[in-house]
Amino acid sequence: MNKPTSPSVHKFPFRHRTTRTLATGWFLLQTLLAVPLIGPQPVAAQVEGNNEETTLTYGQLLQKLDQGEVQEVELDNLRGVAHVRLKGEDESAPLQPVTLFGNDVYNQRLLQKLRSSDVDYRVRENSDNSALTGLAVNALLALIVVFALLMILRRSANSASGAMNFGRSRARFQMEAKTGVMFDDVAGIEEAKEELQEVVTFLKNPEKFTAIGARIPKGVLLVGQPGTGKTLLAKAIAGEAGVPFFSISGSEFVEMFVGVGASRVRDLFKKAKENSPCIVFIDEIDAVGRQRGAGIGGGNDEREQTLNQLLTEMDGFEGNGGIIVIAATNRPDVLDAALLRPGRFDRQITVDLPSYKGRLGILDVHARDKKIADDVNLDEIARRTPGFSGAQLANLLNEAAILTARRRKDSVTMTEIDDAIDRLTIGLTLTPLLDSKKKRLIAYHEVGHALVSTMLKHSDPLAKVTIIPRSGGVGGFASYLPKEDQVDDGLISYAELIDRITMALGGRAAEEIVFGPDEVTQGAANDIQQVTNIARQMITRFGMSELGSFAMESPSSAVFLGRSDLMQRSEYSEEMAAKIDQRVRDIATTAYVKARSMLKNNRSLLDRLVDRLVEKETIDGEEFRGIVSEYVDLPSATK
């Protein structure tokens, strides 16, 4: 029977690896230190290279001394060499080297003969640094070995600590978060601010609420489109609350190893409980909070275990009093139902796109640190930017400031802001076209849109029309100012939709009237697509047709949500589909006939506007309506 392996070997593998590393390094150090020091070599070894140059032997030197033929001797005891000059040799000739014996008896005999022979001799004084040099070299080798051992030990320690810290939370912790953002710096989302200000008040003065039996909310979920200010609100809460603040992204919980995310969730809430009351902010919580059972991995995959642990920590058997979890997402439809219930996220705050007043407030906040000219009207900018989020408005003013610096102006004017709006919504400005047939065709197309919309009662007022090309294949465009902020209320009437369809077909109608059916271009492709989409929604979703006031289609849900079939089934019969197609065709045909009739009856006005547009390349709304009013009476809604 095999002896069982010691548990410590499997539990602490890094300790035994470190022991083996130390043993290997110690053996290497002993081996290097066992090498003899680099010092003076034996005399015979040092003079082997001089054998070819030696002309006198030691015995011959003694004989020469006895015979009185030696004139000068220079002794080098360190190297064991005597340099000799015989009588009669040239004074400029080098001395002859004679190898001495290493025995001191022989060297003393040589000195006695030199003294008795009355020969001029001297001893060369050389410092013996070879031993010190050898010691320094060996010490350097020892230091290199020690340094290598320290590096190996450090890597082993880091590996061990990395394994032990693998399941620890990566949340950023601040005892008092100083984000530099307060509620005064957040504009355009007043309802969401009011809800979150209550949370801050609860943290600062809980007695005000607990006195009447209210409990602190456990979680607040911020829901909204990208760029509406969810993360900015979290920064403002951190700046206002003055309590410990933990911030982490949902993706930082999930790893490829099962159980790591759940361990990080436990560690995060353990730290939060030690610092309660506190705030835990989880950004993009949909990365970890998606519906369970929607994937292929079953119930044992990493993401579901992490979600289960998060659900338990937020509202499980043990409470987490004093911890408020604030999460942000732009995909609430994919979150698990257990995560959204009261007791985990007691409040779900929708951060919508800003209304007109909200956009005005956001522009005012972001205009504080920019040099804005006196002629800039923030009210007009807010009216021209329906549907812009807070991030887009901030980018708008930043782009205007960049254009101002590029044009070497001292302050931002309306010209730069107008160009920035066009750049963000349409594209970059390209080189204007030369006066050619293509330029006039584009001019007729754009004037067709602008003229039809100006003469219609329920269309939006024209802001400007231009034939300056833009990136993305845009030859020109006509922009409009909404009469009312329809993005705020979302209400559009049947008459407004019909006028939108008629206006969209004005460009194709102008091309056909002026250049004939054979010269129309594909420039109206996007217009026709827009017409088809509006007309189909009027029939199938809005109930605006004689087919009935009921929905025949519904917005399709994505497959990855786990709530729809792989194949989208039809919600009506083939007979009904034919009726829908016929009704879409009737709406588009009627609108096209109306637009063509309006332009054909005002052909002279159309030609004059085109000539003016080709000359100036851009006409603003006021000038355009002024020219039109000379020919026709404008509807009261467009004045």
CA distance 129 to 40: 9
Residues 6+ apart with CB under 8 A from 265: 169, 253, 306, 309, 310, 313
Spatial contact of 126 and 78, defined as CB atoms under 8 Å apart = yes
Pairing of strands 462-466, 618-620: antiparallel
Neighbours of 264 (CB within 10 A): 23
Q: What are the two backbone dihedrals, phi and then psi, of residue 522, each rounded to the nearest 5 degrees?
A: -80, 10
CA distance 163 to 562: 36
Q: In what order do the strands lie in the sheet with 347-351?
A: 172-174, 245-249, 278-283, 323-329, 219-224, 347-351
Spatial contact of 47 and 81, defined as CB atoms under 8 Å apart = yes
Let me know if 623 is a catalytic residue. no
Burial 495-527 (b: 16+ CB within 10 A, else e): ebbbbbbbbbbbbbbbbbbbbeeeebeebbeeb
Question: Smallest Cα–Cα separation from 487: which of 462, 460, 468, 512?
Answer: 460
Pairing of strands 245-249, 172-174: antiparallel
Q: Of 195, 240, 304, 446, which residue is the catalytic one?
A: 446
Q: What's the angle, vertex CA 310, arms to CA 309 and CA 313, rounded to 5? A: 85
Token reading at 230: 């969810």
Element (H, E) at 487: helix 486-489
Neighbours of 310 (CB within 10 A): 28
Neighbours of 37 (CB within 10 A): 13
Residues 6+ apart with CB under 8 A from 432: 467, 468, 469, 617
Q: In what order do the strands lie in the sheet with 462-466?
A: 477-480, 462-466, 618-620
CA distance 97 to 80: 10
| Cα Rg of the chain (Å, integer) | 46
Token reading at 432: 């204007």
Residue by residue, what is the 3-state secondary structure of 394-411? HHHHHHHHHHHHHCCCCC
Residue 206: cis peptide before it, omega within 30 degrees of 0: no
DSSP string, 538-597: HHHTS--STT-SS-S--PPPPGGGTSS-SSPPPSS-HHHHHHHHHHHHHHHHHHHHHHHH
DSSP string, 111-146: HHHHHHTT-EEEE------HHHHHHHHHHHHHHHHH
What is the 8-class DSSP label of residue 106? H
Active site residues: 446
